[in-house]
Chains A and B, each alone.
Chain A
Amino acid sequence: MHSTKVNKLQILIGIASLLVGLLVYLIDRPPDTAYFLAGWAKDISLYNKIPNMFGPISNTLPAFAHVFSFSLITAGILGSRKRGYLFICLFWLLIDGAFEMGQRYSSMPLKFIPSWFDGIPFLENTGNFFHFGTFDYLDLIAFVLGTIFAYIILTLTMERRKGYEREESFIS
């Protein structure tokens, strides 16, 4: 890989977007709707302590933000270029879309969850994610929008190539 430099701007935008998604869970959603707010983390929830911030978009904003932010962070770390952006964005679209569809057809993924996930932080929630998570068509739309926006922002924030550099892709 002829790596280019890490694109800090993209990473920063990605992290900022991730924090926006986090705010939805902290402010607009009851803490027991998310695994990561379980236990002691419940105390950091601001739900019902301050007014809801995101209104009707709070349902789909996290879906948008997830694809968007991880596409930017991944691309920023890899310092890749246009073709790479496309692959990165589609990769996260595929991952998020697959998990969402897993909630719709939960019986299938549930069969493949190994028992050793039990007790391992986050992994232990995999079954619950598919079992109790709610499939929403709007989330799929949000993923697609997040992908498109991510690609646009990546393109706009791409560091220009110096003379000796050549176009390279994420997988080259």
Chain B
Amino acid sequence: MVLKLLREVLKVGQATVPYPFVPVEVPPGFRGKPEYNPEQCIACASCTIACPPNALTMENDLEYGIRTWKIFYGRCIFCARCEEVCPTGAIRLGYDFELASFSRDDLIVQAEFELAACTECGAFFTSAKELEHVLSLLEQAGLASEDIRVRSAILRKCPECRRKIELARVKPHVHKAFRE
């Protein structure tokens, strides 16, 4: 038995690889660290909602109209849910897994986006890029240009103002229905 074992061991030779002195190969589909493309991002917060460990966060500054997207790689579990739910492909998992660092700040990536102000009352209510994205989707869907104009005007208002305008619009009809 000893001879058989010895033969096995000798046949194997060296079983270890000299990493970190040589790069390690990872298979395709390997889940490394998420790579972010702020140009594509519309700050819709889908990734933030889907992220299980809350590595992705979104903060709104309603005074200056700024939305800050932030990822903290220390919490990331490399699950790729953010990649799955992103509507524009702005975040994708790459192949990088060597994230060790002496400073916590190395693990934080931030991006700032403008918030859109309501055309009626001026309050900030949504991400500007998200709003433009939705409007361009309506155009792509092939709606008539009058339709788009009407919807555009509504979408550029905050939900409070939309409600007020809609109420004002139906008020005469409601009064009429009561009187009849």
Partners in one complex: no
Q: Write the residues of chain A forming the contact surface with B, with a CB cutoff of 8 angstroms.
A: none
